[in-house]
Amino acid sequence: MHPILGVLELGPFTRVVPSYGVMLSTALLVGASLTTRGAARAALDPFLVIALVAIAVGGGLAGSYALFVGVEWVRTGSPMQAFHTGGLVFYGGLLGGAAALAIGARRLRVPLPALADVAVPGLAAAHALGRIGCFLNGCCYGLPSSGWLGMHFPGVEGRVLPTQLFESVGLFLLCMVLLALRRPLRRPAGRLFGCYLASYAVLRFALEFLRQQPMIWSGLTLQQLISLAMFVAGLVFLLRRSGEAAS
Amino acid sequence: MGLASIVLGVAAFVFMLGGAFLFWVPILGPLLAFGAPVLALAGCVTGGLGISRARQEGDSTGPATAGLIISIIGFLCGLVLAVTCGFCGALCTAASLSPNNRYQRNNQGFRYNVGWPDAAVAPGFAPIPGPGPSGQSGSGPPPAFPPPPLQPGTQPSTLVPSGPAPVAPSPDPSLAPGLVPPQPAPTTPSVPSPASSTSPVESARPGARRAPGGRRGSPNALPVDQGALPVDQGVAR
């Protein structure tokens, strides 16, 4: 863990540079560049895609913070607690970013399935880097563990599982798989997106068993319930597009 | 589009500087800090659209490219700033507007003075709820053990009100383990002299001196004068 990357001194003022913020910026930069490079290969206007990525990032950040405030509001009974701690929830970002991307693509007349296919490898890579930021920040850790995988986190008694690193490794692998499947699943557009939805849902559903999250229904956490819905949506998307390809 | 992108990118940098130095101002600080990446994102959108349209129409893409680059840099730096100064400013705003912070609620003249938002809960300053015997809002319930009488000219030396002196476990076998024999009734309480009316907190913090206007030199001591410490209101005033 290395929450503070450094200290920036501006005359009499000093500002800390947090590792999480730097990793978040790096993640968005890497994800946007991967998406733009993919857009050029998919015969989409890369500058239009840059504009759409910016719209999606704005919607994603807003959605992730909104879901974090909502979760904290439900958990503590007051939205003010969310301002005291601060945080982001990925699924909120995914929903907000997808909604913003859909609206932007409709306005700019960019085919949404092709755009989604182009965006998912970059999204997985950005998410993997963001989880490394979580690890450096010391948040999103897992259950207590006395095994060799357990690690000490600041403010936590005993050793806990570094689930951020597990998820990061899984997302890097998923990014590689998506990049490899980009050509075979090129037509019809949208199958790569369905593949990402289903794969990440499985990964997150499994990892949630190793994390300390409140169970809200039938022993499942909120993220697991969203993962179930996302898995079904991804499978339907994949099968329907595959059916169109076969016909 | 290109010009708009440049303007938005520069505005993002201005917001970023404002958020970095004014993060402690409630509402304005987080507005500036969180507004910087939003403006930069808007600059990225207009820059990308500007380049795309300029290429379609055969115009120069220079201004839009400049605006896009400024906006991307502004977004990356603004995001780091939002994670630090933005969340810190949100914390200051939440602390200043929190209805359960008695210091902020009582201190009407300095409602947005959030330089020390948690001074009222600093160690040794835990607020005691409820009206006291004197009817003042800062007074709390009487202590469990009455303080021992002080001899004139002596100073209390501990922070915690001292009760009866610790008694060694009773050798009396008729008492259950852990019980002590009943203590004799306390003597008639004597009125402490003016020299001994200093609150235990003050005596425990010799560096905290009272300014001529009733305030202390240290800003951490502000809640004492605002009624967070019953001893100060009921005795010293």
ipTM score for this prediction: 0.87
Residues in A touching B37 (Cβ below 8 Å): 61
State pLDDT tens for residues A26-72: 999 999 999 999 998 888 999 999 999 999 999 999 999 899 888 88
SS (H, E, C) chain B: CHHHHHHHHHHHHHHHHHHHHCCCCCCHHHHHHHHHHHHHHHHHHHHHHHHHHHHHHCCCCHHHHHHHHHHHHHHHHHHHHHHHHHHHHHHHHHHHHCCCCHHHHHCHHHCCCCCCCCHHHCCCCCCCCCCCCCCCCCCCCCCCCCCCCCCCCCCCCCCCCCCCCCCCCCCCCCCCCCCCCCCCCCCCCCCCCHHHCCCHHHHHCCCCCECCCCCECCHHHHHHHCCCCHHHHHHHC
Q: What's residue B205's pLDDT?
A: 38
What chain A residue is nearest to B35 in terms of C-alpha separation?
A58
Q: A70-127: per-residue pLDDT in tens?
A: 888 888 887 777 766 678 899 999 999 999 999 999 999 999 999 999 999 999 999 9
Domain ranges of chain B: 2-97, 110-145+196-237
CB contact under 8 A, A47 and B91: no
Q: Which residues of A touch B90 (CB under 8 A)?
A: 83, 86
Q: Does B98 touch chain A (CB under 8 A)?
A: yes
Residue with tokens 């005691």: B128
pLDDT above 70 covers what percent of chain B? 40
Q: Check CB contact under 8 Å for A29 and B90.
A: no
Of the two residues B208 and A201, the one the predictor is more confident about is A201
Nearest by CB to residue A45, choosing from B52, B83, B85, is: B52
Count of pairs with CB atoms under 8 A, one residue in A, one in B: 82
For B62-117, the pLDDT digits (tens) are: 999 999 999 999 999 999 888 888 777 777 776 776 655 555 455 554 444 444 44
Examine the pLDDT at B48 and tell me if it is beyond 50: yes
**pLDDT above 60: residue B189:** no
Please tell me which residue, B49 or B169, carries the higher pLDDT value. Answer: B49
Q: Rounded distance, CA B23 to CA B29, Å?
A: 4
Q: What is the mean pLDDT of residues B39-68?
A: 93
Chain A environment of B117 (Cβ under 8 Å): none
* Subunit contact A51:B84, Cβ cutoff 8 A: no
Residues of B in contact with A28 (CB under 8 A): 75-76, 79
Instruction: Give the alpha-carbon dihedral of B193, B199, B205, B206, to 10 degrees.
Output: -20
Question: In B, which residues are within 8 Å of A52 by CB distance?
Answer: 48
Tell which wins on pLDDT, B10 or B197: B10
Q: Which of B37, B77, B91 sits opposite A84 (nearest CB)?
A: B91
Quick check: B45 and A16 CB within 8 A?
no
Copy the structure tokens of residue A122: 């970059």
Q: Would you say residue B197 has pLDDT above 70?
A: no
A177, A178, A182, A187 alpha-carbon torsion, rounded to 10°: 120
Q: Which residues of A touch B81 (CB under 8 A)?
A: 21
Distance from C-alpha of B123 to C-alpha of B120, rounded to nearest angstrom: 9
∠ Cα B52 B58 B61 (to 5°): 55
Assess contact for B29 and B85: CB atoms under 8 A: yes
Q: Considering CB atoms only, which of B44, B82, B85 is closest to A54?
A: B44
The per-residue pLDDT of chain B, averaged, comes to: 64
Q: Dig out the tokens for B190 from the structure.
A: 């004597």
- Contact between A182 and A38 under an 8 Å Cβ cutoff? The reply is yes
| Beta carbons of B117 and B23 less than 8 angstroms apart | no
pLDDT at residue A155, rounded to an integer = 83
Q: What is the reported pLDDT for B157?
A: 52
Q: What is the pLDDT of residues B140-151, one digit of tens each?
A: 455 556 666 676
Average pLDDT, whole number, for chain A?
89
Does B82 contact A at CB distance below 8 Å?
Answer: yes
Q: Is the pLDDT of residue B131 over 60?
A: no
pLDDT at B193 over 80: no
B85 close to A (CB below 8 A) = yes
**Mean pLDDT score, B219-224:** 39
Nearest CA in chain B to A11: B21
Pick B80's closest partner by Cβ from A13, A21, A86. Answer: A21
